[in-house]
Amino acid sequence: MTHTLTIIIPVFNEEKNLERVEKELKSYLEHCKIPTTVLFVNDGSRDSSLQIIKKICAEDPGFQYLNFDKNYGLSTAIKAGFDYAESSLIGYIDSDLQTSPKDFDLLLEYIGEYDLVTGVRSNRKDSLVKNMSSRIANIIRRSFTQDGMDDTGCPLKIIKTDYAKRIPMFQGLHRFLPAMILLQNGKIKQVPIQHFPRIAGNGKFGVWNRLLGPMADCIAYVWMKKKYINYKVLKSE
């Protein structure tokens, strides 16, 4: 079966969430209007995440997985998903399920006209410190990228695959996906979505890597923007 959408789910030590991930993604696959598959990317988990993922994939052909030899980080997990996807669209959602797979439908409404559609977490259910650090980080990124996005860190996105595969991913650039689409002269849009509190497992990013990381990443982005190669072929014989 040829799939139109591949949903990437990076996983690092999320054993307590994966049963719920399976349940909610199965429900979404049953009602999704386009042929969709789920691709877990196990990023060197040290708990029982891999064993649970293998069980899920063995029981349901709608689920597949990649398994890293060690922990590489979120940007690498997303990049691997981009590399292995064969569908025309790629979705991305975190395994903590603080966003809902059902909201992919909200993004799909616009993906025909746009090349990346990202969620904006309305009424966020995170702590005050986390919300404030994310808000400051977004302001910093927006000042450098001028992408107009209010919530680049939102872990719910849909991207046209030919654009995703051309993104030169580096560590930290998962926060810059909208800006990287703009570098390709693509069109981007943000759509309000639901947000939920994390009910199991532990967050992987703290205050310092939300604030200090973006500064270094912004410098890398500015360099890349100056050096980025973009062209259109008018004729080929």
pLDDT in tens, 3-26: 899 999 999 999 999 999 999 999
Asked if the model's pLDDT at residue 187 lies above 90, the reply is yes
131 residue type, one letter: N
Q: Mean pLDDT, to the nearest integer, of 38-66?
A: 97
**What is the token pair recorded at 217?**
């990443």
Domain assignment present for residue 11? The answer is: yes
Q: pTM of the full predicted structure?
A: 0.86
Domain assignment present for residue 221? The answer is: yes
pLDDT tens-digit series, residues 64-111: 999 999 999 999 999 999 999 999 999 999 999 999 999 999 999 999
Domain assignment present for residue 234? The answer is: no
Pairwise CA distance, residues 36 & 46, whole Å:
29
Own/partner contacts of 27-32, CB < 8 Å, gap of 24 or more, are: 27/101, 28/101, 28/102, 28/104, 29/62, 32/5, 32/104, 32/105
Asked if the model's pLDDT at residue 27 lies above 80, the reply is yes
Domain assignment present for residue 181? The answer is: yes
Q: Mean pLDDT, to the nearest integer, of 194-222?
A: 69
Q: Count of domains in the chain?
A: 1
Contact 107, 117 (CB under 8 A): yes
pLDDT tens-digit series, residues 111-152: 999 999 999 987 765 555 566 666 777 677 776 777 878 787
Domain of 161, CATH number, reads 3.90.550.10
Q: Which domain holds residue 198?
A: 5-227
Domain assignment present for residue 110? The answer is: yes
CA of 67: how far to CAs of 12, 112, 131, 161, 181, in Å? 11, 32, 31, 21, 27
Asked if the model's pLDDT at residue 50 lies above 80, the reply is yes
Domain assignment present for residue 41? The answer is: yes
Domain assignment present for residue 105? The answer is: yes
Residue of 190, 175, 171 lying closest to 141 (CA atoms): 175
pLDDT reported for residue 129 = 56
* Nearest 10 degrees: Cα torsion 136, 21, 179, 203: 30
| Average pLDDT over all residues of the chain | 87
For residues 2 and 143, the model is more confident at 2
**Which residues pair with residue 91 across a beta bridge?**
7, 158
pLDDT reported for residue 89 = 98
